[in-house]
A and B are shown apart, each in its own frame.
Chain A
């Protein structure tokens, strides 16, 4: 496996992990999980998922830089939405989270599909 294929497979695995995290965030919210669990899962999802969805379109080589960008962009996108809500008085945080989460998951899923198609050797026997 060459370095590019390793990077591609790592990226696919990372995106699948983030999709799982988004699903977990939905589950803990719907199932009314214990407060600490709910907080931690939601916090992780809020810090990573939207930014990772944006970074699907933006190459970042170093994993640590990628994580940093992921967190920064996630918080920025969420805060922009939150600001728009408190400035307009159109306060629907759950709807905003649902729209953002869905858009992010679509982007991540598309990137997973693209990754799988572009490096079939990575997943072959």
Chain B
């Protein structure tokens, strides 16, 4: 990888053009082979019996071979003297397809049970054509859902689940395009831009680009940053800062040269920035604050002007919050804590995770530490090479997301969001610093080494929990049945997390707490760490009646997997509880298929006369309705 374009070979005429295009086509051939190999490699992979190490052990060698070819192709295109950005971008996209398209190609369903609540909101908007702020937080920030509802209507798809499985790949590729553009704007070197995109793809393990407002706002946020860097940057880096960097680095710094031949008319760029930010503000709760922090640092240290843009963004962000303040403070709370060590903690699911989950967590922590270390090293390297003042926008944007830990833990996800928002800029710094290495061999070796370390860590971190995240068609069908046929005003309680909930357009007609998840039994100590069965039935009924006189309890394959992989319950305990529910006269089987069973809690008056416990024989066919 080099910051300098290779010298052009003097050639002219049709022959030269054909020869050049032929060379690009030849460079793409291994990629086409890798794409075919990837698709074929998935033909015999089953996602039904994944162990606690997730998907990686279940993937065949050919899958890893396809990934290796994609990565080698990207490296070759980035390091070749006569490389072309289109070839490098194609290989980065192929890498993204293999990493982010595998689950979609295997299961055909959106992964993550919590994706389905987003689909439910889109279906609600499609059905009603209006957002109802009294329903939930999503109806108060409806930007993404409204756009998805429009798209579903145009695509003739009543249910976004038809395409939502591919949202991870779609948003990730868009994010990579945006990040590449932003990096090229600052560095003017396509190899650094595409190299950063490759590292972004490989370091974006946090799984936040699924069908969600976060993914949409993230992409728009990157577009906003690209716009600001391309159009609103001046050379006004504070002198004291330049002097400080030069003093620390003992190297004269090159000053940024943001002059561009393609400046927009005076008011166009701020107007476009405000339009982008307005959509982000109305689409996601956290992203506007992350952007505000980043843009504030850009204005302070990187000469982004006009100042009033920052004021306008702050006014929109805070004004929108003010309009929803009562709802937020009533249901979630505005601040969690000012203690960053507390806020950076994730939700503690269990005290005794299995070795697979310990391995996943360790890999994630190593990955975070490695990226942080490389970013720090890259910053020092750029400073020593006199490029840190030019790279300040990346450093500012990489650091600014950390501010969140001084106020919010964001439902235990603050650390994940920091990784998400800082990863493009960490990737940019790392890619740029590699490009400054003097010898070509050193550049090639270092980039290959970074990719070789990132790729396995990514596979473990991103695909290592898919035994919990992949949702089967049968579970989706059970959820569809519930939101179509279940009694309105009732509540759906889950035995454990993992069931796709709030999936139907009618979801607001059901009870439950405001928040991210449906109630589940595993949050109560009475169900944790012990055998389950008939003695827990009163607690199950009480949990349901906490929200409604009528309710249901859902058992599913993923719920059982969740409770057992995280060792919240002993093996077989959830199944024992299900058998007890099935045998109880208080409950009635409402729906069952091979992966999910839904039982209705009967009202006391509807209870039949006492009788002997019975065993329920579950139908084995897919999607068979029990009643």
Contacts and interface: CB of A to CB of B under 8 A. Distances in A.
A binds B: yes
A122 interface: no
A61 to B, nearest CB: 4
Nearest to B183: A64
Chain A contact surface mostly: helix
A91 B130 contact: yes
Chain B contact surface mostly: helix
A72 B156 contact: no
Contact of B178 (A29, A68, A81, A91): A68
Interface in A80-100: 80-83, 85-91, 93-94, 96-97
B157 A35 contact: yes
Contact of B181 (A38, A42, A68, A96): A68
Interface centre among B185, B193, B261, B279 (most CB of A within 10 A): B279
Task: Give the size range of B's interface with the partner.
Answer: 35 or more
B312 to A, nearest CB: 15
A4 to B, nearest CB: 11
B110 to A, nearest CB: 14
Given A62-B181, A68-B223, A86-B142, A94 B129 contact: no
Given A39-B163, A68-B223, A96-B150, A89 B265 contact: no
A37 to B, nearest CB: 11
A60 B223 CA distance: 14
B154 A58 contact: no
A49 B423 CA distance: 29
Nearest to B163: A39
Nearest to A65: B181
Contacts of B8: none
B216 A75 contact: yes
Given A72-B178, A76-B275, A62 B220 contact: no
Task: Give the size range of A's interface with the partner.
Answer: 35 or more
Interface of B: 85, 125, 128-131, 142-147, 149-151, 153-157, 162-163, 170, 174, 177-178, 180-182, 184-185, 190, 193, 216, 219-220, 222-224, 226-227, 230, 260-265, 268, 272, 275-276, 278-279, 282-283
5 contacts: A43-B170, A65-B181, A79-B282, A80-B279, A93-B154
Interface of A: 29, 32, 35, 38-39, 42-43, 46-47, 54, 57-62, 64-65, 67-69, 71-73, 75-83, 85-91, 93-94, 96-97
Given A29-B156, A65-B185, A68-B181, 10 more contacts: A59-B262, A62-B184, A64-B190, A69-B230, A71-B223, A72-B220, A79-B283, A81-B150, A91-B129, A97-B154
